[in-house]
Structure 1
Amino acid sequence: MSLPPAIFLMGPTASGKTDLALELARVLPCELISVDSALVYRGMDIGTAKPSPEVLESFPHRLIDIREPNEAYSAADFCADARAAMADITAAGRIPLLVGGTMLYFKALLEGLADMPSADPAVRANIEAQAAHEGWGAIHRCLAEVDPESAARIHPNDPQRLTRALEVYRSSGVTMTEYRMRQHGGNADSSAPFIEQFPYTAIHLAIAPRERAILHERIAVRFRLMLEQGFIDEVTRLRARNDLHAELPSMRAVGYRQVWEYLDGKTSFDEMTERGIIATRQLAKRQLTWLRGWSQLQWLDSLARDNVSRVLKSLKAVSICS
């Protein structure tokens, strides 16, 4: 029996993923699933470039606005939610079209995750409080003491992955490395063969401008447009909540961290703008690095006018559409 179809549409930030997804949804029997670790949060609209209410009404996206910014959302949470959404879409005779730039989520969905403990809010809150007091460098050192392999893989400025790795150990007494070794038969490498087959026939697409300078310019233009649209007011409203602080994963999202620091008086408006643009470019670079190592990937040029027809041709080649 052939596996049901799915479409993965990936790419760096500001590459035009959403626009292409909407074009495809107009001509294919698709339903959209967001693959973005920031779009899951309610109230974070401008700084995440969330599709407008009008777009979401016409083209509903699953897994948008499903968490409050003070709530945790892990790759395991995403996998469970995405699998359920894909099954629902497939059962309706339609094609899941997953679109976004959180490459870790795509990878986890494809390759599966080790059977690790679920999130522990109390342990997580303790880690975040320690980070707020001592800094994320201290958290990285704590992780290195108990799980040096994970510490070597995780950058000291990656709070979400640091928190999760240390949370796993503090809640279970077993390191993330050990869990991975158990899953992969003694091999802790995250690229080791996964156990459960991904139950879909997927076409893997990536969109980006051919020239890096074009992407950089698009990022700068979009960040400045966000500021014009009220990004600072959005962060001000978030800061006014009693349950949010600067060290939460949601508030450390690209752009939000820089605006938060500006509102703290740590930077000028011009410095905040420049830092926000630079941080977004660095995010795009990391996303492109993920994609360069992706197998069976079809690249599309953001500026090309024939992307929809190219995708349709690829889909026919693998019998996803007739």
Structure 2
Amino acid sequence: MFDAVLIAGPTASGKSAAALALADRLGGAIVNADSMQVYRELEILTARPSAAETARVPHHLYGTVPGREAYSVGRWAGEAATAIEQARAAGHVPILVGGTGLYFMALLRGLSPVPDIPGDLRQRWRTFAATAPASELHAALADRDPLMAARLDPSDTQRLVRALEVVEATGVSLAEWQETEGEPVLRDEGLLKLVVAPERDVIYAAIDARFDSMLERGALAEVEALTNLDLDPGLPIMRACGVPELTCHLAGAMTLDEAAEKAKTSSRRYAKRQMTWARRFMADWTWVPNSEAALEPGLMQGTTES
């Protein structure tokens, strides 16, 4: 029996279906490892598990955080560690599933001891990021922390903001902080680590079909309710795939068809970045082409070689 199962993969890859099937097979409890599925206000647009699915097997850390909060990887790691212990205490195998690679790395490698960032400094950079193009953020980082700027994608707003916060608050590059790792929550021994990675055209088709389904099930009303909360546009929830585009539609800046197409394009680009990240940091995990392959007998017997 595995001590824990970790299932990563790009958006719309079928990893949640794999987690559910494995939970049935192993007597597991599912722990969310997706940075957007934690938010209470976005059920449809983040493809959170349905009521029927959560009734089928235990689920942890889904829809637990209000959108007004900026949830962090450090907070998630602590709450995930608690959820893992709760699952084991109940006799369940912890099955962690999601598309946020840094969450998995936090469990396996520990977190670097970066000091807390003052709230006013954090807010200032996030407000700036809400109106400035990513290129300006990258230029600001290159001026203050060229080492970290060279490592980051110039379009990755969230990580650029994080690097800017850290170097301004501490005077030390995030790259230097990251050289010191914390205590891991999980050890490699006894783990089944999977990446569900269909072919690109399969993922893209699934993204398009899923977004159409989300619209049919009320994603637009969900975003309208979110905008009515008048949250800071720099908060992570406001950058979830589909939220900026549908917000623009609600403001009259584009048609619904235009918003849907832009949201699908954004999701496809996100999936591409997730795959690039996984190939770099999860190359030694077991890669499977779909959720059905995650149930192959060899894997269930603990054969985890790629």
Q: TM-score normalised to the size of structure 2?
A: 0.89
Q: 1:132 to 1:9 in 2, by over 3 A?
A: closer
Q: 1:18 to 1:267 in 2, by over 3 A?
A: same
Q: 1:278 to 1:135 in 2, by over 3 A?
A: closer
Note if contact 1:4-1:199 (Cα within 8 Å) is conserved in structure 2.
no
Q: Note if 1:114 corresponds to 2:90.
A: no
Q: 1:133 to 1:8 in 2, by over 3 A?
A: closer
Q: 1:221 aligns with which of 190, 202, 209?
A: 209
- CA–CA distance in 2 between the matches of 1:127 and 1:227? 32
Q: Which residue of 2 aligns with 1:144?
A: 142
Q: Which residue of 2 aligns with 1:27?
A: 25
Q: Which residue of 1 aligns with 2:262?
A: 275
- CA–CA distance in 1 between the matches of 2:259 and 2:232? 18
Q: Which residue of 2 aligns with 1:292?
A: 279
Deviation sequence 1:276-322 (CA, Å, 0-9, x none): 11111111111222222323322223274x642x1x53232369xxx
- CA–CA distance in 1 between the matches of 2:47 and 2:175? 35
Secondary structure at the counterpart of residue 237 of structure 2: coil
Q: Which residue of 2 aligns with 1:260?
A: 247
Note if contact 1:147-1:177 (Cα within 8 Å) is conserved in structure 2.
no
Alpha-carbon shift at residue 178 of structure 1 (Å): 2.9
Q: Note if 1:57 corresponds to 2:55.
A: yes
Note if contact 2:192-2:302 (Cα within 8 Å) is conserved in structure 1.
no
Q: Note if 1:239 corresponds to 2:237.
A: no
- CA–CA distance in 2 between the matches of 1:36 and 1:288? 15
Q: 1:15 aligns with which of 10, 13, 16?
A: 13
Q: 1:175 aligns with which of 173, 176, 186?
A: 173
Secondary structure at the counterpart of residue 250 of structure 1: helix
Q: 1:204 aligns with which of 193, 197, 212?
A: 193
Aligned length in residues: 301
| % identity of equivalent residues | 37
Q: 1:132 to 1:16 in 2, by over 3 A?
A: closer
Q: TM-score normalised to the size of structure 1?
A: 0.85
Note if contact 2:111-2:182 (Cα within 8 Å) is conserved in structure 1.
no
CA RMSD, Structure 1 to Structure 2 (Å): 2.3
Alpha-carbon shift at residue 18 of structure 1 (Å): 1.3
Q: State the AA in 1 paired with 2:119.
A: P
Note if contact 2:147-2:173 (Cα within 8 Å) is conserved in structure 1.
no
5+ residue gaps, structure 2: none
